[in-house]
């Protein structure tokens, strides 16, 4: 393993990058469309002022004030905003997309709320005063007014630094148990497998791995603060994923003992001197793997992570952004570190059993390779790869001759062989679900798939044209931001958009899929225009051409959650 260190160091040259274009200029909106102010009432005594801010517009913090029914000023606890250099007011704080300000309803109303905002294109609206009155009952729809990513971003913005760091740590801890984080376990295991680990040695290797991974996350947080929150499309592209999957395969083959990868002697000698810091393991190799795993097998595009990056991108605070994602990295790596530290104490002494352990690590690395590239391959080919892997495990188990558990291992081998044969049959007939490989037989699921393909648009100019045509026809538009490397996008095509009930609910809508696979400057500008972290993200546009921001979907959802968001969009 230690001889691969120089190969892994190539990963250090990979850097996060995001390039943004300017949003296209548009006609100025009426002030009531650009800034929508509501009084959301939680109960008889408490509520909040909620601004829904149109994209490409912002609200001034210094302009917000309120008076009670007697004309007396109300003290408002207004959260900090994004600091900008404004052409009109100089250095000032602003808000984008939405703002929540708590309001004590013990104060007699009606409430006169004054505020002012501007458009990015250069127009500054005159100060506005809105008269709001509280009702006798709480607003039933208050919790649904904010999309998942917005709500998280706003809560983080209003919290202090320590609270934020704790929140990011907990996010990382939760993300450690999601499917996209599972490949990290074989990565870390492969670092330790060739050594003679004790608890302290495992803790050192695991600690270096987690620290390197967290530092990369911290760097991404700084980049997000400086350049916005559009990071995932820059990192998750085939040119990075394919070599990384190939590296997993090479490591797996070495674990199986098929060959030994070695560097030239002069490099090997230097690495051996470095490896003397820790017998049987390489600190430098663990660090390099931590860097690679953070860049390429990072957290999934879920609403918590999307909200966190949105918050960092809008804050413009590089220090806070770096510390926040560092805490996220520590949280996501902690379970791995604990497993490798305390689990190794119970390992038996080295012996012949190590050959079997090497094979286990090899199969785990092959599993990680399939996880990495599954978004780039046809579903049937991916299922065929899973079948081949299961068949290889079955053959290996069948060839073992243990002194005990012989019947059990043979039984498991037969089950795996049967299931792999069923999966191969399903893949050959066009199936895609490894858990239900023959489910597609007798079902007509190709109609929705071809429809989705037909609505995929990679050119933002053509997308705008299609949206304009839909608006002329008085249609709703649903934008489903898609990329070939987005696993969740492909899952939702089958589990959400392939469902008859969903298709019926969307029958009168124009279903468009902005394809951001290539991550061109125009596509990056489109993502920035809508304030989107990355796919999958679903945006609902009403017939007047306005997004219903509170119904936006970020991350993978099921059919029921999608229909709920669609219903909220239509009711707005």
pLDDT for the residue numbered 391 = 92
pLDDT for the residue numbered 451 = 38
At 506, list the tokens: 């969307």
Provide the 3-class DSSP secondary structure of residue 320: helix
Q: What is the dihedral of CA 191, 235, 233, 247, to 10 degrees?
A: -50
Q: State phi, psi for 76 to the nearest 5 degrees.
A: -105, 140
pLDDT for the residue numbered 512 = 92
Tell me the C-alpha distance between 99 and 111, whole Å.
Answer: 17
pLDDT for the residue numbered 133 = 78
Does the reported pTM lie above 0.75?
A: no
The stretches in the chain having pLDDT less than 70 are: 1-28, 44, 86-89, 121-124, 126, 134-161, 174-202, 224-241, 244, 259-283, 285-286, 289-290, 292-318, 339-358, 361, 375, 401-405, 440, 442-454, 485, 487, 533
Residues sharing a CB contact under 8 Å with residue 254, sequence separation 6 or more, in sequence order: 1, 4, 260, 261
N-term to C-term CA, the chain? 58
Tell me the C-alpha distance between 365 and 186, whole Å.
Answer: 6
* Nearest Cα to Cα of residue 258 among 359, 186, 357, 352: 359
∠ CA 130-132-135, rounded to 5° = 170
At 405, list the tokens: 């558990």
> Exposure string (b/e) for 431-441, b if CB count within 10 Å is 16 or more?
bbbbeebeebe
pLDDT for the residue numbered 463 = 92
pLDDT for the residue numbered 539 = 92
pLDDT for the residue numbered 523 = 87
* Nearest Cα to Cα of residue 41 among 119, 103, 120, 92: 103
pLDDT for the residue numbered 400 = 72
């Amino acid at each position: 393993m230690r001889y691969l260190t120089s190969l892994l160091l190539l990963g250090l040259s990979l850097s996060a990058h995001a390039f943004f274009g300017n949003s296209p200029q548009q006609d100025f909106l009426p002030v009531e469309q650009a800034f929508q102010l509501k009084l959301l009432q939680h109960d008889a005594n408490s509520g909040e002022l909620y601004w829904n801010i149109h994209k490409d517009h912002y609200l001034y913090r210094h302009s917000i004030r309120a008076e009670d029914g007697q004309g007396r000023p109300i003290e408002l606890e207004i959260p900090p905003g994004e600091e900008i250099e404004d052409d009109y007011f100089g250095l000032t704080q602003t808000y984008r997309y939405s703002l929540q300000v708590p309001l004590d309803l013990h104060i007699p109303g009606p409430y006169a709320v004054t505020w002012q905002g501007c458009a990015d294109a250069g127009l500054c609206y005159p100060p506005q005063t809105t008269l709001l009155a509280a009702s006798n009952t709480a607003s039933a729809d208050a919790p649904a007014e904010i999309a998942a990513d917005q709500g998280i971003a706003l809560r983080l913005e209003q919290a202090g630094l320590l609270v934020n760091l704790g929140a990011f740590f907990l996010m990382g801890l939760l993300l450690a148990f999601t499917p996209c984080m599972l490949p990290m376990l074989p990565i870390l295991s492969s670092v330790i497998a060739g050594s003679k680990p004790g608890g302290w040695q495992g803790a050192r290797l695991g600690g270096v791995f987690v620290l390197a991974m967290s530092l990369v996350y911290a760097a991404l947080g700084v980049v997000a603060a400086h350049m916005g929150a559009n990071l995932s499309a820059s990192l998750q592209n085939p040119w990075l994923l394919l070599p990384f999957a190939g590296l997993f395969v090479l490591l797996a083959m070495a674990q199986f003992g098929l060959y030994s990868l070695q560097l030239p002697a002069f490099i090997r000698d230097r690495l051996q001197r470095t490896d003397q810091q820790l017998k049987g393991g390489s600190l430098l190799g663990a660090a390099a793997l931590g860097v690679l795993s953070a860049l390429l097998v990072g957290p999934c595009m879920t609403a918590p992570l999307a909200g966190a990056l949105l918050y960092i991108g809008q804050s413009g605070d590089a220090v806070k952004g770096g510390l926040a994602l560092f805490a996220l990295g520590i949280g996501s790596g902690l379970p791995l570190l604990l497993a490798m530290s305390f689990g190794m104490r119970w390992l038996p002494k080295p012996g012949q059993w190590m050959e079997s352990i090497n094979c286990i690590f090899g199969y785990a690395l092959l599993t990680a390779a399939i996880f990495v590239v599954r978004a780039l391959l046809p579903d049937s080919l991916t299922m065929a790869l899973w079948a081949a892997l299961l068949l290889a495990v079955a053959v290996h188990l069948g060839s073992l001759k243990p002194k005990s558990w012989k019947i059990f291992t043979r039984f498991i081998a037969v089950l795996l062989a049967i299931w792999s044969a069923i999966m191969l049959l399903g893949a050959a007939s066009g199936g895609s679900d490894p858990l239900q490989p023959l489910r597609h037989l007798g079902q007509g699921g190709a109609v929705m798939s071809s429809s989705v393909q037909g609505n995929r648009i990679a050119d933002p100019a053509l997308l705008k044209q299609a949206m304009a045509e839909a608006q002329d026809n008085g249609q709703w538009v649903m934008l489903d931001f898609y990329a070939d490397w987005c696993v969740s996008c492909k899952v939702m095509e089958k589990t959400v958009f392939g469902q008859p009930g969903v298709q019926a609910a969307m029958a009168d809508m124009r279903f468009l899929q902005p394809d951001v696979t290539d991550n061109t400057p125009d596509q990056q500008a489109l993502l920035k225009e809508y304030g989107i972290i990355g796919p999958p993200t679903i945006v609902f546009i009403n017939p007047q051409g306005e997004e219903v921001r509170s119904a936006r979907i970020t991350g993978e959802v099921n059919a029921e959650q999608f229909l709920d968001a669609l219903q909220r969009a239509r009711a707005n």
